[in-house]
Amino acid sequence: MLKDTLLYLAQNPRLRDFVVQNKITRNASRRFVAGEVLEDAVRATRALNNRGIQVALDLLGENVALKEEATEAARNYINAIELISRTQIDANISIKLTALGLDISPDLCEELLSTILESGQEHNVFVCIDMEGSAYTDQTVAIAKRAHERYGLVGTVIQSYLYRSQADITQLVDQGIRVRLVKGAYKEPQSIAYQEKSDVDNNYVQLMNILLARGNFPAIASHDEAIIDAACKFVRDHGISKSSFEFQMLYGIRRDLQEKLVGQGYNVRVYVPYGSHWYPYLMRRMAERPANLMFVMTNVWR
Ligand code: FDA
C-alpha cells in the first residue's frame, strides 16, 4: 500500500517541485544520489574505484517532453563518456530512453542514442539501456537489439517481475547482448507481472541461472542477500569463473555487502546517479524500503 502510494507520488509534479526545491530533502537525497553535476559523480566514482568497485554513471532524467531536453541529455552523456576516457575512471554509463525523447519520437530517441553509442565506441565505454515501465519494454528491447547490431558495446535490463522476461532473456542471450537482471521498480498490473515478492524472487533466480550459465558478462543487480548467496553457490557448483559476470548495486545501498563481495574476489559495480532530476529516482528507492522514507523524513524534521 505504502509502496504503491510512493510509486504513484513519483509521478506527481507538485510534490516533485516541493521536494526538489526544499534544501533539507535535497540534502537527504545525497544518501542515494551522488550530486547534481558530473564532477560530483566523478568524485563518488573515484572513491568507489579506490575500494575496488566499478561504476555505472546514470544522468538522472526521464520522460522528457521537449526535443531540446532530449538533445541536452544526449550531449551530457557524451560529455560523461569523454570524461570517463580522459580521467581513466573505471566507469561505464546507464541511460533511460525516455530521457532521450522516446515519448516525443522513437526516431529522435534512436538518433540521439546513436550519437552516444558512437562516442562509446570511440572511447571504448559500454552503455546499458535501463528498463522503465512496461509501456516501454517492447521498444526498449527492440532498440537495444538494433543498437547492438550496429555498435556492439550496448546492453539492456530485464525485470524478473514481468512474465515475459524469460523469452526476452533467451533472445538477448542468443544475440550475445549483455543483460542486467533486476527485480523491477515500477508499479505493474497482475495481468503482466508477478505481485508477490516470493514469485518475483523465484523468477529472478531462474533467470539469473540462465544468465550465469550462458549469458554474455551478465550483471546480477540486487541487494538481496539470499539471491546473492544463490548466485555464489550456482557459480561454485557449476565451475563458472567469478570473472564472467558482475554484481551490481545502487549507490548508498548495502555498502557493507559491496565490500564483502569485492573482498571475496567478485566484480562489483555500483550504479551512481547524478543530476538535478532526482525526484522520481528517490521516490522509487523509498518505495523499495520504508526505512529510506524514514531516513528522508527524519532529516526533514531534524
Ligand atoms: P528487494 O527489494 O527484495 O530487497 C532486498 C533487500 O535489499 C532489502 O531487504 C534491503 O535490505 C535491501 N534493499 C533493497 N532496496 C533497497 C533500498 N532502496 N534501500 C535500502 N535497502 C534496500 N529497476 C528497473 O525497473 N529498471 C532498471 O533499469 C533498474 N536498474 C537497476 C540497476 C541496479 C544496479 C540495481 C541494483 C537496481 C536497478 N533497478 C532497476 C531496481 C530494481 O528493480 C529493484 O527495485 C531494486 O534493486 C530493489 O530490489 P532488490 O533486488 O535489491 O531486492
Determine the 3-state secondary structure of 192 from DSSP: coil
Nearest CA owner, ligand 1 atom 5: 224
Q: Which H helix or E strand runs over 153? A: none
**Pocket of ligand 1 contains residue 184 by CB under 6 Å:** yes
Residue 17 lies in a domain: no
Q: In the chain, how many domains are there? A: 1
CB atoms within 10 A of CB 162: 21
CB atoms within 10 A of CB 189: 8
Known binding residues for FAD = 131, 159, 183-185, 197, 222-223
Q: Which residues of the chain have pLDDT under 50?
A: 302
Give the integer Cα–Cα distance in Å for 229 and 257: 11
DSSP annotation of 193 reads B
Distance 111 CA to ligand 1 centre (A): 30
Q: Are 64 and 99 in contact (CB under 8 A)?
A: yes
Q: What predicted TM-score, i.e. pTM, was given to this entire model? A: 0.93
CB atoms within 10 A of CB 252: 19
Q: What is the DSSP string of the chain?
A: -HHHHHHHHTT-HHHHHHHHH-HHHHHHHTTTS--SSHHHHHHHHHHHHHTT-EEEEEE------SHHHHHHHHHHHHHHHHHHHHHT-SEEEEE-GGGGTTTT-HHHHHHHHHHHHHHHHHHT--EEE----GGGHHHHHHHHHHHHHHHSSEEEEEETTBTTHHHHHHHHHHTT--EEEE---S---TTTB--SHHHHHHHHHHHHHHHHHH-SS-EEE---HHHHHHHHHHHHHTT--GGG-EEEEETTS-HHHHHHHHHTT--EEEEEEESS--HHHHHHHHHH-HHHHHHHHHHHH-
Residues 6+ apart with CB under 8 A from 88: none
pLDDT digits (tens, 9 = 90+) for 146-168: 999 999 999 999 999 999 999 99
Q: State residue 302's pLDDT score.
A: 47
To the query of whether residue 180 is one of the catalytic residues in this protein, the response is: yes
Residue 24 lies in a domain: no
Q: What is the DSSP string of 12-25?
A: -HHHHHHHHH-HHH
Q: State residue 299's pLDDT score.
A: 59
Please tell me which residue in 58, 130, 168, 201 is annotated as part of the active site.
Answer: 130
Residue 27 lies in a domain: no
Q: What angle, rounded to 10 degrees, do the helices at 225-237 and 197-214 form?
A: 30
Q: What is the CATH number of the domain that holds 49?
A: 3.20.20.220
Residue 30 lies in a domain: no
To the query of whether residue 224 is one of the catalytic residues in this protein, the response is: no
Residue 19 lies in a domain: no
Range of the structural domain that residue 190 is part of? 2-9+37-301
Burial class from Cβ neighbours inside 10 Å (0-12, 13-18, 19+) for residue 150 reads exposed
**Pocket of ligand 1 contains residue 136 by CB under 6 Å:** no
Residue 275 lies in a domain: yes
Nearest CA owner, ligand 1 atom 6: 224
φ/ψ of residue 92, rounded to 5: -125, -170
Residue 26 lies in a domain: no
Residue 116 lies in a domain: yes
Known binding residues for substrate = 96, 284-285
